[in-house]
Structure formats: C-alpha cells, structure tokens
Amino acid sequence: MAVAREMIVNLYRNLIRESKKWDSYNYRMYALRKIRHEFRENKLLQDAEKIKESYNYGLTNLDMIRRQVTIGNLYSTRQLVIETTPTQKAL
C-alpha cells in the first residue's frame, strides 16, 4: 500500500504537535528543527519503497517522542534563562 499524501501531512503535524509538548527547551528545539529538516530533505522522494520506509521511520519516532515527552515532563525543571528573558533579537 502506497503512503497517501494526507498520511504524510498527518504524520508531520503529529510529530510537530507532540514535540511542542516537550518541557526541555533543548530537546524541544532539536526535535522541531530535526523534523522540519527531515521532511524538507525527503520532500522530493519518488520511490514508493523509500517513501514507505521514511514514513515508518517517522511513525516509530512519533511513538518515541510521545514516550520521551512523558518521561521528560515527569522530571521537568524551571525554564532556562533564554526562555524567560525577552528575545535577544533586538540586541
């Protein structure tokens, strides 16, 4: 069965949504950055086999993120200084 476009878009949305729940600033930012990078890299994939493979890789990672977000958030800390201070862009 080929992977439909909607399934991929759904996977992307789920990955981003779950990653945003991460309490740890560094893990959250890495996950968001990496997910976007991976999807951009594989945007032009044509081979149905490869698409299927990447899709399954995304699904296993979605499960992993869900578990790790839960574990990480059980032991969350206060935020980093960078999250509490206004953005540094103006500097």
Partner 1 sequence: MFRLWKRLVPLARDHHVNEVISSPKRHYAAVKEFESPISDEYKKGPAEGRPLYLDAQATTPLDPRVLDQMMPYMTTYYGNPHSRTHMYGWETEAAVERGRKQVADLIGADPKEIIFTSGATECNNISVKGVARFYKEKKKHVVTTQTEHKCVLDSCRALQAEGFNVTYLPVKPNGLIDIDQLEAALRPDTSLVSIMTVNNEIGVQQPIAEIGALCRRKKVFFHTDAAQAVGKIPINVNAMNIDLMSISGHKLYGPKGIGALYVRRRPRVRVEALQSGGGQERGMRSGTVPAPLVVGLGAACELAQKEMAYDHKYIEDLSQHLIQKIMGSLTNVVRNGDEVAWYPGCVNLSFAFVEGESLLMALKDVALSSGSACTSASLEPSYVLRAIGAAEDLAHSSIRFGIGRFTTREEVDYTAHNIIRHVIRLREMSPLWEMVQEGIDIKSIKWTQH
* Element at 43 (helix H, strand E): none
Contact by Cβ (8 Å): 20, 32: yes
Among 4, 10, 26, 48, binds partner 1 (CB under 8 A): 26
How near is the Cβ of 53 to partner 1 at its closest, in Å?
A: 14
For partner 1, the binding residues in 56-85 under the rule CB under 8 A are 61, 64-65, 67-68, 71-85
Q: What is the number of other CB atoms lying within 10 angstroms of the CB of residue 59?
A: 14
20 near partner 1, judged by CB under 8 A: yes
13 near partner 1, judged by CB under 8 A: no
* Element at 67 (helix H, strand E): helix 48-74
